[in-house]
Amino acid sequence: MNAVLQSHTASESSIVPQVDQPAAEALLQVQGVSLEYRTPERVVRATHQVSFEIDPADRFVLLGPSGCGKSTLLKAVAGFIQPSEGQIRLAGAQVTEPGPDRIVVFQEFDQLPPWKTVIQNVMFPLLASRTLKRREAEERARYYLEKVGLSAFADAYPHTLSGGMKARVAIARALAMQPKILLMDEPFAALDALTRRKMQEELLELWEEVRFTLLFVTHSIEEALVVGNRILLLSPHPGRVRAEINSHQYDLNSLGGVDFQRTTQRIHRLLFDEGEAEPAERELSFKDVRIAY
């Protein structure tokens, strides 16, 4: 662990000046989390001692190659899997099971029950979790459908919608629960390139309006830079933290720009250079790197 992170956890409060006191506790704290799958034959370690923190209204991205444990980390934050080492805390409380304060949007939009209309789909979790009574649930569902531009399709059935529209229903359904953190696992991966870009744009617009806290998984460097304000880079299997970078300066307008391309290439090297911090480490001159291991 490097000095930046150590200073964050140092217990030398008596000798540290007031201004250097640790900031208020983060919304989500993932501390030294190792995750394993146990099959009868063997144990597969998906992540190794991963740590990161997410603050309210962050758009935090987990980025790494296929198999590095991104989905597994997301499932652990959601409470579906327990760490074999380390812990996960949300608003100070340890995560031990799934809860309505963490809602997941997956890649497959066919998770929308086809026999329910769009509005019934959005209302369903609110009613099933007894969060709201029917009338309030409908009101809230309409509010979020309006936010994702689907008011006119409230009574449509999912099979009549395009992939992008299904994605928006899934997002409206998740936001309607007003979770403490929205978890998205490659939510646009199944969409064509143009629709994917449109969805990224809409997600950012929605964030501007609602300011939810987002944990977003992708293996696309470009998508990570566009969607995230912070990006955690994970090494190949088992996933370990390679670096964390700030990316708030990029959006869809940055695509194709020289700076954007250069950052994309540097991240690529950081992700895939197996050699001990060389030559990627020398490339770490970019000012936005927060933590490098």
Ligand X SMILES: Nc1ncnc2c1ncn2[C@@H]1O[C@H](COP(=O)(O)OP(=O)(O)OP(=O)(O)O)[C@@H](O)[C@H]1O
Task: Using CB under 6 A, list all residues that contact ligand X.
Answer: 37, 39, 44, 46, 64, 66-72, 219, 237
Query: Least distance (Å) from ligand X to the CB of residue 111?
Result: 16
Q: Which is nearer to Mg ion, 178 or 220 (CB)?
A: 220
Q: Which does 72 bind (CB under 5 to 8 A by kind): Mg ion, ligand X, none?
A: ligand X
Q: How far apart are the first and last CA of the chain?
A: 6
Instruction: Please state, as a whole number, how many other Cβ atoms lie within 10 Å of the Cβ of residue 161.
Output: 18
CA 222, CA 80: separation in Å to the nearest integer? 29
Q: Which is nearer to Mg ion, 71 or 120 (CB)?
A: 71
Q: Which is nearer to ligand X, 38 or 287 (CB)?
A: 38
Q: Which is nearer to ligand X, 123 or 214 (CB)?
A: 214
Query: Least distance (Å) from ligand X to the CB of residue 169?
Result: 22
Q: Segment 238-267, which members bind Mg ion (CB under 5 A)? A: none
47 contacts Mg ion (rule: CB under 5 A): no
Task: Work out which of 29, 51, 71, 263 binds Mg ion, going by CB under 5 A.
Answer: 71
- Measured on CA atoms in the order 64, 70, 71, 74, is the torsion positive or negative? negative
218 contacts Mg ion (rule: CB under 5 A): no
DSSP β-ladder status, 181-185 and 214-218:
parallel
Cα angle 177, 216, 131; round to 5? 10
State the burial class of residue 114 (Cβ atoms within 10 Å of its Cβ: 0-12, 13-18, 19+).
exposed
Bond from prior residue into 279 cis (ω within 30 degrees of 0): yes
Query: Least distance (Å) from ligand X to the CB of residue 218?
Result: 8
Q: Which does 81 bind (CB under 5 to 8 A by kind): ligand X, Mg ion, none?
A: none
CA 191, CA 29: separation in Å to the nearest integer? 31
Q: Which is nearer to ligand X, 68 or 214 (CB)?
A: 68
CA 80, CA 53: separation in Å to the nearest integer? 19
Q: Which does 37 bind (CB under 5 to 8 A by kind): Mg ion, ligand X, none?
A: ligand X
CA 91, CA 93: separation in Å to the nearest integer? 6
Query: Least distance (Å) from ligand X to the CB of residue 57?
Result: 25
Q: Which is nearer to ligand X, 150 or 270 (CB)?
A: 270
